[in-house]
């Protein structure tokens, strides 16, 4: 029944045909079970492990690599190769792909945990009325129509409509659904509100919520998937994970690169068709296979095999740095997504605020003999910790607050007229509450006021352990007074009272809504001398004004406190006794904003990031918070910037679009609204970060570009998120955004480094094949260069220092290419030089080297016809390992110099010197050491087809390698002026991109 909240109790009972005094019969239970099913969240079929593994290989570059590995292996077998040489290249490729697939499978497995952990919020048992008898049954056996009894501490087993109140009130903690810290009072009346949200359905008990006060009976109206918890599960299942901006750009670039590679491979093979019949190949077919092998080597050279591993490593390094900022990253790609975040949808309670109700103001009657009549005190401290000070209206700190009569009696009343518990949790190292947040706030106030006499000395309290300090003053008053009778809070009275006895004197303390308490008062307690005087009309008007100021302008939750001396020996109290009270004071409390939030909001504004506060709280309270934290900075009128969920839904589509572009505050929301907001913003090409802590936030967290859960939040929220804030602090998000931007900048640098290096390898093989030279580099040498000499420096580039103005720039556009037209031209130039330098080293050994054959250039480019004609040199000279060793060494060294070019995209090495990144220098040193090892250690030199080089050969290598720095310095110079930046071309037209990836 979806509209049970709008129907009367009798209508709901009649709809299910149940007698509230007897419950369902066994026959009705069986029939309803057939109709509605079991009270469990269905187990969703998870993706089979083998399918997850296969999904990791659904990438064009990966498929080309797999094909290259298989072809390489088959060609080795055709050529008669056996042992390690036949398996080395394909084995290394498959090992890399397997490692990347493992990371992907682990990430997907974590994402599915959210659905499993949602079950933890279902109740285990329920007290059910059936066949006229109450019994305790497994909650899974409940069916719609069952009459269930709930009490304090009970977890609600299903969605239920209240039918009978068994106590003066019933309050339920709905935080997992609404995200709000305050419990909700429930009643029997039907709800008349249109488009009612969870907070409006005050007669419904929602599955998974917890009863914190009172007892009641209710009829089950929804089980399993047809509950509020079930709707959250369905929303999570409907949510499709979006690819991160970096993943989209890498996929786009990979597709472009794959097409270029395929074209070049085919071109090399076709260009050399005329050489297929050369005698050196031993026939047309063998010639075709030979050049096909060159094409495969070209594919291996062009594809940056180490790119996925290096990206993963760089992101992992970023997660460690972010962990130190209290941002625990669960999904590696989300590190980079932070860098282009344009909107942060932040939960209010617990993220922008402390989620700890605390008293911030106290109003007492100072004196009626001289003005002003009332006096306000400010109370510091924004947590449940008994730490804070009290200041008077002049801003002077009260050294001994308990010396003031009204503050002393406020402390007495707050400690005694209270049913909550404040305690220190040594495991969490913080103070925990049990009970209502407002009552706990009063307990903390008692500790801040202290005790009269010596016990109030700060030194006496500070030497206590945290466990003793938590409730030291409260326990003092509880020992001084003996509680005799409690008159519980009720909705009609809006107050509670407690009768206490001390030294043969009975006193009744009361607390409640100011409008209820003040109307019952006939006297007031004066703070100046502790006297009790009649409450005049003027004083009453003054108190009303202070109450309106607290509740209106300051949006504080207000409570009034009072006392009454009772006849000696009285043992009970009733409602009639709650008259002729003496007013003690007025306290105003709120869930205070975190101290760091205001500066964090301003940082977001300067970084071009918009913050939208999303809350289930009422509009007035939320607007007051936004004023405090600076979200409404420079705004006098909030019209067009603040909307409730119902107000937003009533807007026409065009106005909704405009509202989304200006919105700062979104109130009275429930789970579906949060997810709707994320989707609407994403449709406007915004990159959205969503924060949350409750079960209700999980669908929106999963849908957002980056979901950020609170460390104190539910397991469901954490599992659905990409990042968890260990300190629940909004300021940590801003620090993480800065780190995400720096990580992206470094990621771009090493991607460009690897691209330019691989372009050099392609140029080397392509030019050599076109000119008809012998194989410049064999595939295993290319693999070594790509994995080791490319991988180590590329990873070290991830340690480039963060720019000082990283949070002053606007967020980059999602459509911004990883490699733009001008940059691609730059790296074509660099790559062309790398390739030509590598070939030059090869040619130098054959033509000019004293240790080489000093062949004419003509002989070198016609080496394949050597067996068919007379020559002055043996044809075996073309199998010498020296020329390929020189080429490979030139390639390695020139790439090391190129790594130094990537310390900055446009800044000269004279401005950002090499030692600014010691990790890069260390990686270059290690790379060169590894290269020297394979040159001079015998088994390895045989494996990689290399040989030791002489000093002269090393000198030539350095001469050929160093100019790459000079070339890039010239290109950087052009990049720093407007002409260089205007020059460009694109891989594809912007209008051919998907709509969500175009420029905003």
Helix 437-449 × helix 472-480 angle, to 10°: 90
Q: Shortest CA distance to 722 belongs to which of 117, 55, 110?
A: 110
Q: For residue 738, what are the contacts with CB-CB under 8 A and spacing of at least 6?
A: 802, 806, 807
SS (H, E, C) 476-500: HHHHHCEEEEEECCCCCCCEEEEEE
Distance from C-alpha of 549 to C-alpha of 314, rounded to nearest angstrom: 54
Beta strands 482-487; 665-667: pairing state = unpaired
Q: What length is written for the chain?
A: 1000
User: Known catalytic residue: 200?
Assistant: no
Between CA 49 and CA 148 the distance in angstroms is 42
Alpha carbons within 13 angstroms on the beta-carbon side of residue 802 total 17
Instruction: Tell me the C-alpha distance between 862 and 289, whole Å.
Output: 19
- Mind spelling out the 3-state secondary structure of 866-891? HHHCCCCCCHHHHHCCHHHHHHHHHH
**SS3 labels along 528-582:** CCCCEEECCHHHHHHHHHHHHHHHHHCCCEEEEEEEEEECCCCCCCCHHHCCCEE
- Helical (H) or strand (E) element with 237: helix 228-238
- Token readout for 183 is 């419990």
First-to-final CA distance of the chain:
44
Tokens of 305: 């095999």
Q: Give the Cα separation of 797 and 747 in Å (integer).
A: 8
Residues 274, 862: contact at Cβ < 8 Å? Answer: no
Eight-state DSSP code of residue 630: T
Residue 151 in contact with residue 50, Cβ under 8 Å?
Answer: no
Buried b / exposed e along 251-273 (16+ C-beta atoms within 10 A) = ebbbebbbeebeebbeebbeebe
Instruction: Round to whole Å and give the CA distance between 70 and 74.
Output: 6
* Residue 358, beta-bridge partner list: 590
d(CA 118, CA 935): 58
Residue that the structure tokens 């030019």 belong to? 767
SS3 category, 423: strand
> What is the radius of gyration, based on Cα positions, of the chain?
37
Catalytic residue among 146, 347, 376, 693: 347
Q: How far apart are CA 871 and CA 862, in angstroms?
A: 12
CA atoms within 13 A on the CB side of 123: 28
Q: How far, CA to CA in Å, does 697 sit from each of 138, 236, 878?
A: 28, 10, 68
Q: Which residues pair with 345 in a beta bridge?
A: 612, 690
What angle (nearest 5°) sits at the alpha carbon of residue 596, between those of residues 334 and 465? 105
Query: Can you state the angle between helices 882-901 and 918-936, rounded to 10 degrees?
Result: 180
Sequence-distant (6+) residues with CB within 8 A of 34 are none
Rounded alpha-carbon distances, angstroms, from residue 508 to 169, 242, 995? 21, 61, 69
- Per the CB < 8 A criterion, the answer to whether 737 and 339 are in contact is yes
962, 901 contact by CB (below 8 A): no
Cβ partners under 8 Å of residue 373, min gap 6 = 365, 366, 367, 538, 539, 542
Q: How is residue 339 annotated by DSSP?
A: G
Give the active site residues.
347
């Amino acid at each position: 029944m979806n509209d049970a909240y709008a129907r009367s109790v009798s209508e709901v009972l009649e709809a299910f045909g149940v007698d509230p005094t007897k419950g369902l019969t066994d026959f009705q239970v069986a029939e309803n079970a057939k109709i509605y099913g079991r009270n469990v969240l269905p187990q969703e079929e998870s993706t089979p492990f083998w399918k997850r593994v296969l999904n990791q290989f659904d990438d064009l570059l990966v498929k080309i690599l797999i094909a290259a590995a298989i072809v390489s292996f088959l060609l080795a077998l055709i050529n008669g190769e056996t042992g390690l040489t036949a398996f080395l290249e394909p084995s290394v490729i498959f090992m890399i792909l397997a490692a990347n697939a493992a990371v992907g499978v682990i990430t997907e497995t974590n994402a599915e945990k959210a659905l499993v952990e949602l079950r933890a919020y279902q109740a285990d048992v329920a007290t059910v009325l059936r066949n006229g008898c109450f019994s305790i049954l497994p909650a899974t056996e409940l069916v719609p129509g069952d009459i269930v009894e709930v009490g304090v501490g009970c977890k609600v087993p299903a969605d239920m409509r209240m039918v009978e109140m068994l106590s003066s009130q019933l309050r339920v903690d709905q935080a997992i659904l609404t995200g709000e810290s305050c419990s909700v009072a429930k009643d029997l009346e039907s709800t008349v509100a249109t488009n009612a949200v969870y907070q409006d359905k005050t007669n419904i008990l929602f599955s998974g919520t917890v009863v914190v006060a009172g007892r009641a009976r209710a009829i089950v109206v929804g089980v399993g998937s047809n509950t509020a918890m079930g709707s959250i599960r369905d929303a999570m299942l409907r949510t499709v994970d979006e690819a991160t901006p970096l993943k989209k750009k890498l996929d786009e670039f990979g597709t472009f690169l794959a097409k270029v590679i395929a074209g070049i491979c085919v071109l090399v093979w076709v260009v050399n068709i005329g050489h297929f019949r050369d005698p050196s190949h031993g026939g047309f077919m063998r010639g075709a296979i030979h050049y096909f092998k060159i094409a495969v080597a070209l594919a291996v050279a062009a594809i940056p095999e180490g790119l996925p591993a290096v990206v993963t490593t760089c992101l992992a390094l970023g997660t460690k740095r972010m962990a130190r900022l209290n941002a625990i990253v669960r999904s590696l790609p989300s590190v980079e997504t932070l860098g282009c975040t344009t909107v942060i949808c932040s939960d209010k309670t617990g993220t922008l605020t402390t989620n700890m109700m605390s008293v911030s103001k106290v109003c007492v009657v100072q004196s009626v003999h001289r003005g002003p009549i009332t006096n306000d005190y400010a109370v510091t401290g924004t947590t449940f910790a008994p730490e804070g000070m009290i200041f008077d209206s002049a801003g002077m700190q009260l050294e001994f607050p308990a010396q003031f009569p009204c503050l002393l009696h406020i402390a007495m009343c707050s400690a005694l007229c209270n049913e909550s518990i404040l305690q220190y949790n040594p495991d969490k190292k913080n103070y925990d509450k049990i009970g209502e947040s407002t009552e706990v706030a009063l307990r903390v106030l008692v500790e801040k006021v202290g005790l009269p006499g010596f016990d109030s000395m700060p030194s006496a309290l500070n030497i206590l352990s945290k466990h003793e300090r938590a409730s030291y003053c409260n326990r003092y008053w509880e020992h001084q007074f003996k509680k005799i009778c409690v008159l519980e809070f009720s909705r009609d009275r809006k107050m509670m009272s407690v009768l206490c006895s001390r030294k043969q004197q009975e006193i009744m303390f009361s607390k409640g809504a100011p409008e209820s308490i003040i109307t019952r008062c006939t006297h007031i307690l004066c703070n100046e001398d502790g006297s009790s005087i009649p409450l005049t009309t003027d004083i009453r008007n003054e108190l009303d004004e202070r109450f309106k100021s607290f509740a209106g302008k300051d949006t504080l939750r207000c409570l009034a406190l009072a006392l009454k001396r009772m006849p000696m020996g009285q043992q009970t109290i009733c409602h009639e006794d709650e008259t002729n009270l003496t007013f003690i004071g007025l306290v105003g409390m709120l869930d205070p904003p975190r101290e760091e939030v205001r500066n964090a909001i301003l940082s977001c504004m300067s970084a071009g990031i918009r913050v939208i506060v999303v809350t289930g709280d009422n509009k007035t309270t939320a607007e007051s918070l936004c004023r405090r934290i600076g979200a409404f900075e420079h705004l006098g009128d909030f019209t067009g910037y603040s909307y409730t969920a119902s107000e937003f839904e009533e807007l026409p589509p065009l106005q909704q679009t405009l509202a989304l572009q200006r919105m700062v505050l979104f109130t009275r929301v429930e789970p579906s609204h949060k997810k709707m907001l994320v989707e609407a913003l994403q449709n406007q090409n915004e990159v959205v970060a969503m924060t949350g802590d409750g079960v209700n936030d999980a669908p929106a967290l999963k849908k957002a570009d980056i979901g950020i859960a609170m460390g104190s939040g539910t397991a469901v929220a954490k599992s659905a998120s990409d990042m968890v804030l260990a300190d629940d602090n909004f300021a940590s998000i801003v620090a993480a955004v800065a780190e995400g931007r720096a990580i992206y900048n470094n990621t771009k640098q090493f991607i460009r480094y690897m691209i330019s290096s691989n372009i050099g390898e392609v140029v080397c093989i392509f030019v050599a094949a076109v000119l008809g030279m012998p194989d410049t580099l064999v595939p295993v040498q290319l693999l070594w260069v790509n994995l080791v000499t490319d991988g180590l420096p590329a990873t070290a580039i991830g340690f480039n220092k963060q720019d000082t103005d990283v949070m002053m720039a606007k967020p980059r556009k999602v459509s911004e290419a990883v490699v733009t037209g001008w940059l691609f031209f730059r790296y074509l130039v660099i790559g062309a030089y790398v390739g030509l330098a590598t070939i030059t080293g090869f040619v130098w050994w054959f033509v000019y080297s004293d240790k080489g054959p000093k062949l004419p250039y003509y002989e070198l480019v016609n080496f394949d016809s050597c067996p068919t004609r007379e020559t002055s040199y043996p044809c075996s000279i073309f199998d010498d390992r020296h020329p390929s060793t020189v080429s490979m060494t030139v390639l390695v060294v020139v790439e090391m110099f190129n790594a130094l070019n990537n310390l900055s995209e446009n800044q000269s090495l004279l401005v950002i010197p090499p030692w600014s990144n010691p990790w890069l220098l260390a990686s270059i040193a290690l790379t060169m050491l590894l290269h020297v090892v394979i040159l001079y250690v015998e088994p390895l030199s045989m494996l990689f087809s290399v040989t030791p080089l002489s000093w002269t050969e090393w000198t030539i290598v350095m001469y050929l390698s160093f100019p790459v720095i000079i070339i890039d310095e010239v290109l950087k110079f052009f990049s720093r002026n407007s002409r260089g930046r205007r020059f460009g071309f694109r891989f594809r037209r912007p209008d051919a991109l998907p709509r969500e990836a175009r420029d905003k």
